[in-house]
Structure 1
Amino acid sequence: MRERLQEWVPRIVLAPSFVAVLIVVYGFILYTGWLSMTNSRMLPNNEFIGLANYTKLFGLKHWSIALTNLAIFGTLYILISSVLGLFLAILLDQQIRTEGFIRTVYLYPMAISFIVTGVAWKWFLDPGIGLENTMHQWGWESFEFKWIKDRDFAIYTIVIAAIWQSSGYVMAMFLAGLRGVDNEIIKAAQVDGASGFLIYRRIIIPMMRPVFLSAFVVLTHLAIKSYDLVVAMTGGGPGRATEMPATFMYSYTFTRNQMGVGASSAIIMLIMIFSIIIPYLYSEIRVGADKR
């Protein structure tokens, strides 16, 4: 009886959480998929219309703008955050005295919510109260930095803020990878006369492919579901210059009363995330199986 209790008590304790996740997460994912194929507007409607919402979605100019902005934002965000994070990790890997303090400074932005980051960068980049105004007060009257108000450059201000917040986290991932490299390999390369630059380029960085993949998956996930940072900084504007799929989904579901179209955009975003996560999980499972 005691052995049976030891076996079943953990299952009983975890059962409510499992059921809640099953309903709240996966249940509502299925329900959103159903809504995307119905004629739902302000309220859910069970009138089945097939893939009509998806056809309408990809015919909307606003959705094309959102995808274009996501491509620009995602590419720059992932690339620069990865390069900057790797660079910072290599610097900290040199065993400097103030490593603990510097690592904390780099990681601190990740502890702040994206809303706070967006508001802070909105104030900083605002021409009337931020960087431009400060430079004018210091005597640089010709200085201009109105990217956040410019339709052609506003998307890049989102990139700057996102990189500021995430590069420290990427640095921590790379630093953990660097510290996991076998020192015997590095010592052997040093004995052969390899310089520090060659050791990193030819030995250490190629051995960190799993870390690069993990960082890519995390950053891609953050880029696709970016909503709060955009809303806090620009609200999707000026115009629709910083519209993202996440802000598009919210707008069409709750503002324009096009719940079916909004649900279809949410499903497209889910497919984007799955297209990244599923290959990653498959590769991790395969690597784990090969090690066994």
Structure 2
Amino acid sequence: MNSRSRMQELLPKLVLAPSFVVILIFVYGFIAYTGFLSLTDSKMLPSYNIIGFANYSKLWALPHWWRAITNLGIFASLYIVICSVLGLALAILLDQKIRAEGLLRPIYLYPMALSFIVTGTAWKWFLDPGIGLENTMRLWGWDSFSFTWIKDSKMAIYCVVIAAVWQSSGFVMAMFLAGLRGVDNEIIKAAQIDGASAVTTYRRIIIPLMRPVFLSAFVVLAHLAIKAYDLIIALTGGGPGQATELPATFMYSYTFTRNLMGIGASSAIIMLAMIFAIIIPYLYSEIGGGKRA
């Protein structure tokens, strides 16, 4: 091998090396450092006095943490299910080759172009009883209209679900639409020749063929739900009280507000474990499926 061939072989590695080093340090290095802090008695500043898994024991004994986990269960389950159902319905609608597809598709996708901060702020204004929907309806003459979910500790979490679904359902629609357009037309034609209706074709043939898309949508939505932070901060700030507290806002609060860095780091590691519990089986199924194929 001459020097020119060696240079051509080494050049891609040299180009990618700085990015690899940066990712290694600032992603995986900081993850490892967070894991280390979770095993120490760190409070306002990092400490190197290792106390084992004491922070994890304290964490799971906190009612505040259990409230965050409960809220995550409510938020994630509704968010994933509603986004999947709504995204699939919109994708099926656009798959009918309607004339307005070129107009509707960017309208559905537009919310995903916004940051969660913008979405949270917009929905906060919209849902605020003093200036939003309730005030507008009363100005129009509906004096008895009331919509105060965002101020109600029992209903506030559902306001977060509404805003998150509005933000992400268009993206899920795009995933399902790509899956629908990828289904072999010969299979659909064969079903039509056999007399299958459109509803039966979708229910018995097309939707079952889209299981990989459902799995991909689940993984994307689940990891967005677990790490949800900016939407909560912009929309409710975790309130009223702790009604919309999620693990990400809990982690920030205990690390930077209550100066309990060890407990905050342990909550971050548990969030990471939740994401790994979703991502690793997905990667295993994809790689294993590819090998079997």
TM tier, shorter chain?
over 0.9
Alignment of 1:1-292 (within 5 A): 1-291=3-293
Q: CA deviation at 1:49?
A: 0.2
Q: CA deviation at 1:26?
A: 0.3
State the distance in 2 between where 1:42 and 1:228 align.
23
Structure 2 spans left out of the alignment, 5+ residues: none
Cα displacement string for residues 242-282 of structure 1 (whole angstroms, at most 9, x for unaligned residues) = 00000000000000000000000000000000000000000
SS at match of 1:76: helix
State the distance in 1 between where 2:63 and 2:162 align.
26
Q: CA deviation at 1:17?
A: 0.4
State the distance in 2 between where 1:229 and 1:15 align.
35
State the distance in 2 between where 1:41 and 1:65 align.
22
Matched residues, percent identical? 74
Return the letter of the residue paired with 1:247: T
- Once the two structures are overlaid, the 10-residue window that deviates more, 270-279 or 281-290, is 281-290
Q: CA deviation at 1:287?
A: 1.2
Return the letter of the residue paired with 1:218: V
SS at match of 2:223: helix
State the distance in 2 between where 1:183 and 1:82 align.
24
Cα displacement string for residues 95-114 of structure 1 (whole angstroms, at most 9, x for unaligned residues) = 01111110000000000000
Cα displacement string for residues 50-83 of structure 1 (whole angstroms, at most 9, x for unaligned residues) = 0000000000000000000000000000000000
Return the letter of the residue paired with 1:14: L
Cα displacement string for residues 105-126 of structure 1 (whole angstroms, at most 9, x for unaligned residues) = 0000000000000000000000
State the distance in 1 between where 2:35 and 2:163 align.
32
State the distance in 1 between where 2:103 and 2:33 align.
47
State the distance in 2 between where 1:92 and 1:196 align.
14
SS at match of 2:141: coil
Structure 1 spans left out of the alignment, 5+ residues: none
| Number of aligned positions between the proteins | 291
Return the letter of the residue paired with 2:23: V
State the distance in 2 between where 1:52 and 1:219 align.
32
Q: CA deviation at 1:48?
A: 0.3
State the distance in 2 between where 1:255 and 1:244 align.
15
State the distance in 1 between where 2:100 and 2:106 align.
10
SS at match of 2:61: coil
Q: CA deviation at 1:13?
A: 1.0
Q: CA deviation at 1:290?
A: 1.6
Q: TM-score, normalised by structure 2?
A: 0.99
State the distance in 2 between where 1:187 and 1:136 align.
53
